[in-house]
A and B are shown apart, each in its own frame.
Chain A
Amino acid sequence: MTPVIGVLALQGDFAEHAAMLRRLGVESREVRVPRDLEGLDGLVIPGGESTTIGKLLETYALLEPVRDLGASGFPIWGTCAGLILLATDVGTPQPLLGLMDMTVERNAFGRQTDSFETDLDIDGLPGGAFHAVFIRAPIVSGIGDDVEVLAKLDDGRIVAVRQGNLLGTAFHPELTADARLHGLFVEMTRVA
Chain B
Amino acid sequence: MEKNTLTVKRGLAQMLKGGVIMDVVTAEQAKIAEDAGAAAVMALERVPADIRAHGGVARMADPEKIIEIQAAVTIPVMAKCRIGHFVEAELLQALGVDYIDESEVLTPADEAHHVDKRGFDVPFVCGCRNIGEALRRIGEGAAMIRTKGEAGTGDVVEAVRHMRAVMGDLRRLTTMREDELATFAKDVQAPLDLVASVARDGRLPVVNFAAGGVATPADAALMMRLGADGVFVGSGIFKSSDPAIRAKAVVEATTHYQDASIIATASRGLGEPMSGIARDTLAPEELLATRGW
Interface residues of A (CB under 8 A from B): 9-16, 32-33, 47-49, 51-52, 55-56, 59-60, 80-81, 92, 106-107, 110-118, 133-136, 172, 175
**What are 20 pairs between A and B in contact, CB < 8 Å?**
A11-B17, A11-B18, A32-B256, A48-B16, A48-B18, A55-B36, A59-B252, A80-B15, A92-B74, A111-B97, A111-B98, A112-B99, A112-B122, A112-B123, A116-B2, A116-B3, A117-B5, A134-B8, A135-B15, A136-B12
* In the bound complex, CA of A47 to CA of B17 (Å): 10
* In the bound complex, CA of A56 to CA of B37 (Å): 8
Min C-beta distance of A89 to chain B, whole Å: 15
Residue of chain B at shortest CB distance from A48: B15
- New contact pairs (12) apart from A9-B18, A48-B39, CB-CB < 8 Å: A9-B255, A13-B14, A32-B259, A47-B15, A48-B18, A56-B255, A111-B96, A112-B98, A115-B8, A117-B8, A118-B1, A172-B11
Query: Is the CB–CB distance between B255 and A175 below 8 Å?
Result: no
Q: Which residues of B contact A175 (CB under 8 A)?
A: 7, 11, 14
* In the bound complex, CA of A111 to CA of B11 (Å): 14
Closest CB pairs A-B (n = 9): A112-B98, A115-B8, A11-B18, A55-B37, A13-B14, A118-B1, A49-B39, A111-B96, A113-B121
* In the bound complex, CA of A112 to CA of B262 (Å): 34
* In the bound complex, CA of A1 to CA of B37 (Å): 38
Q: Which residues of A contact B102 (CB under 8 A)?
A: none
Interface centre among A14, A32, A117, A135 (most CB of B within 10 A): A135
Query: Is the CB–CB distance between B17 and A15 below 8 Å?
Result: yes
Min C-beta distance of A170 to chain B, whole Å: 13
Query: Is the CB–CB distance between B15 and A112 below 8 Å?
Result: no
Q: Which residues of B contact A10 (CB under 8 A)?
A: 18, 255
**Interface residue from A9, A13, A112 paired with B76 (Cβ < 8 Å):** A112
Q: Which residues of B contact A117 (CB under 8 A)?
A: 1-2, 5, 7-8
* In the bound complex, CA of A106 to CA of B254 (Å): 25
Interface membership of B128, Cβ < 8 A = no
* In the bound complex, CA of A65 to CA of B232 (Å): 31
* In the bound complex, CA of A52 to CA of B18 (Å): 10
Interface membership of B40, Cβ < 8 A = yes
Q: Which residues of B contact A11 (CB under 8 A)?
A: 17-19, 37, 39, 254-255
Min C-beta distance of A136 to chain B, whole Å: 7
Min C-beta distance of A105 to chain B, whole Å: 11
B window 124-161: CB within 8 A of A: none
